[in-house]
Amino acid sequence: MTSPSNIAAGCAAPDQSAPIPASVDLHRETVLTGIVSNAEGEPVGGAYVRLLDSSGEFTAEVVSSPEGVFRFFAAPGSWTLRALSRSGNGEAVVDATVGLNEVGLTVNPA
């Protein structure tokens, strides 16, 4: 069995650095996207980025691309993004609205 070219190796999530598909209507859909970086501002690839709802419940997880890029499709509302990596961990709270919501997510050593 072969994987589609937009699927990250070993992961069922689409390639996080691929462009948003043309079929996505940013006037109707909510996209949370950004880059995981370390304290020096360098991208952190391979970070596990988790999406938690407003009550802190786990909703989804993706692995950041080699360029540190991550993306989630979600409903409008309050979300927590949590990154776990060898470079450290980080968290950001986002009040997402319909459209493209860009989020910087910095990880710091424990």
Q: Which conformational region is residue 99 in: left (phi greater than 0), alpha (psi within -120 to 50 degrees), or beta?
A: left
- Classify residue 6: in a domain, yes or no: no
- Classify residue 70: in a domain, yes or no: yes
Q: Are 74 and 59 in contact (CB under 8 A)?
A: yes
Quote the CA–CA distance of 37 and 87 in Å, as a whole number.
9
> What's the CA angle centered on 48, arms 62 and 52, to 5 degrees?
70
Quote the CA–CA distance of 105 and 61 in Å, as a whole number.
14
User: Is residue 48 pLDDT above 90, yes or no?
Assistant: yes
The CATH number of the domain holding residue 80 is: 2.60.40.1120
- Classify residue 94: in a domain, yes or no: yes
Cβ contacts of residue 55 below 8 Å, gap of 6+?
Answer: none
- Classify residue 16: in a domain, yes or no: no
- Classify residue 41: in a domain, yes or no: yes
- Classify residue 61: in a domain, yes or no: yes
pLDDT for the residue 17: 66
Based on the structure, what is the number of domains in the chain?
A: 1
* Tens of pLDDT, residues 60-87: 999 999 999 999 999 999 999 999 999 9
Report the share of the chain in percent with pLDDT over 90. Answer: 73
- Classify residue 81: in a domain, yes or no: yes
User: Is residue 5 pLDDT above 50, yes or no?
Assistant: no
- Classify residue 103: in a domain, yes or no: no
Q: Which conformational region is residue 28 in: left (phi greater than 0), alpha (psi within -120 to 50 degrees), or beta?
A: alpha
Domain that holds residue 36: 30-98
